[in-house]
Amino acid sequence: MEEEWQPDAVLDIRIAQVRKELSEYVEKNAEKIDSNLPVFYGHVMSIIENSFQGISDEAHDRLIDDVTMKVLEVSKRSGDIEYVERLFSHAVRMRKRQAGRMIFDVILGFKLIDLGKYNQAVEVLSKYRAIDAIICTAISYCFYALSEEHLSEVGVPAHNRRPSEKALAAREQMIELVRLRAPVNRLKFPHVLQELKINKIFWFMIRLAVDWFPTEIEFLKVGLDKARKDGNREMRGELLKIASERYFSDMFFLRDLYHYKIEMRDASGATAVVRQMMQQHPDELEPVYYGMQLSIISSQRSAYSSFRKIAAGKKMPSNVLALLDFEFELVAGNKIETYACLEEIRNRALSKSHYLIMIEYVTEDAFSDVEKRAKVARKTILDSLDLYCMKILKMKTD
């Protein structure tokens, strides 16, 4: 009999519960598991099969990965590489998808790093260095650690040190990161590894690379990409500070710095970035657009009027100006003026647009007496119109 269909959200709750139960079982039976891995994985498979009949291959494999990492976390034999390899071999056989070996090899590589077995770690990780940026930084770290070990053994004073062969290899691996353009966060690590030494190594090597190669822009870009994806505001702020000093006219960094200041609710900082954009790129519409957006957010009519005048002089499309006028009045809470702007938009290029219908519908909620509903509606409109206007202006949205 087929299992009754359930929404993904409900299934996710059940998966989380099973993961929790399996983790608790591992914590209570670590020694028993170590002594008989085949029996343990048979038990795990039985629990999964009895708990779910329609679980996806991806979710199934994720559970296997997570419980395997939990075993590694609590086992007294986690420092025994032969045991770790045997554990991972069992896990790979339990997975439904055949491409499961890579993630365990990568984790094994990081485990070898934890144990100080850097040469072995390099051997395991090297074939995966194009898969994720974090692999190149890990390999580079291995060579760096080997270099530091050698220097401490021979007792070379820090001020007399010259880059050793291993130290140069570490730098070469960071250059390889730029050459390969490996993606950031492509690898999805099991839940129990999310806050591991893995990320600490990445940031350590990125900081070193930024110092080693002060004219190489890509290290800052790779770091910012990861900081954004991880929600790491501290590292994002640190890298943007360096970028603003080294590449003060680069629009890529100025754009990211502006959005960072907005996210941090630093209006004066965002204003300063807009001024810098306009000084460095006086002929571009993008800085003016950001100035208008900032004026809208802060409801500063005089500033908005000034930026609008500049935008009109630079031939910003009239439909974009009309949409921004609508945004300003909406945020300011001027209902009559907001609907007057909607009428103006209706008379322009958007008159038959399904998008306009959506805007009109959500605008009603934006003036709802229920404050929470009104706030959500206003944010929805602002975010949506921002993306729409940037698309028209062919601005970067990353």
Mean pLDDT by 10 residues, the chain (398 residues): 62 86 93 93 90 81 90 89 91 81 87 92 94 96 91 60 85 96 86 67 96 97 96 96 96 96 94 96 95 94 96 93 95 95 80 78 93 94 92 78
Q: Are residues 21 and 65 in contact, defined by beta-carbon separation less than 8 angstroms?
A: no
The answer to whether residues 277 and 290 touch, using CB atoms and an 8 Å cutoff, is: yes
Q: Which domain holds residue 350?
A: 322-398
In single-letter form, the type of residue at position 11 comes to: L
> What per-residue confidence (pLDDT) applies to 356?
84
pLDDT at 9: 75
Q: What whole-number distance in Å separates Cα of residue 184 and Cα of residue 9?
A: 27
Checking 314-318 for CB contacts under 8 A at 24+ apart, the result is 314/283, 314/285, 314/288, 316/285, 316/288, 316/289, 316/393, 317/392, 317/393, 318/348
pLDDT of amino acid 1: 42
User: Which residues neighbour 317 within 8 Å (Cβ) at sequence distance 6 or greater?
Assistant: 392, 393
Instruction: Choose among 342, 389, 336, 392: nearest CA to 362.
Output: 342
CA–CA distance, 126 with 139 (Å, rounded to integer) = 7
368 belongs to a structural domain: yes
Query: What was the pLDDT predicted at 97?
Result: 79
Instruction: Round to the nearest angstrom and report the end-to-end CA distance of the chain.
Output: 48
Is 97 within the bounds of a domain?
no
Exposure of 120 in the CB half-sphere (CA atoms within 13 A)? 14
Quick one: pLDDT at residue 197? 78
Please give the pLDDT value at position 193.
Answer: 56
Hey, what amino acid is at 305? S
Task: Work out how many domains the chain is built from and give that number.
Answer: 1
In a domain, 374, yes or no: yes
Asked if residue 381 lies in contact with residue 359, where contact means CB atoms within 8 angstroms, the answer is: yes
Cα–Cα distance measured from residue 387 to residue 320, given in angstroms and rounded to the nearest whole number: 11
Instruction: Identify the pLDDT of residue 79.
Output: 84
- Has residue 388 been placed in a domain? yes
The pLDDT score that the predictor gives to residue 159 is: 55
Q: Which two tokens stand for residue 384?
A: 């949506």
In a domain, 339, yes or no: yes
Residue 385 covered by a domain: yes
pLDDT the model gives residue 102: 86
Eight-state DSSP code of residue 252: H
Instruction: State how far the Cα of 58 lies from the Cα of 63, in Å rounded to an integer.
Output: 9
Domain assignment present for residue 365? The answer is yes
C-alpha to C-alpha distance for 94 and 254, rounded to whole angstroms = 48
Tell me whether residue 377 is in a domain: yes
Give residue 189's pLDDT: 75
Report CA 337 to chain centroid distance, whole Å.
39
Asked whether the beta carbons of 284 and 303 are under 8 A apart, the reply is no
CA distance 64 to 75: 16
pLDDT computed for residue 154 by the predictor: 61
pLDDT of the residue at 312: 95
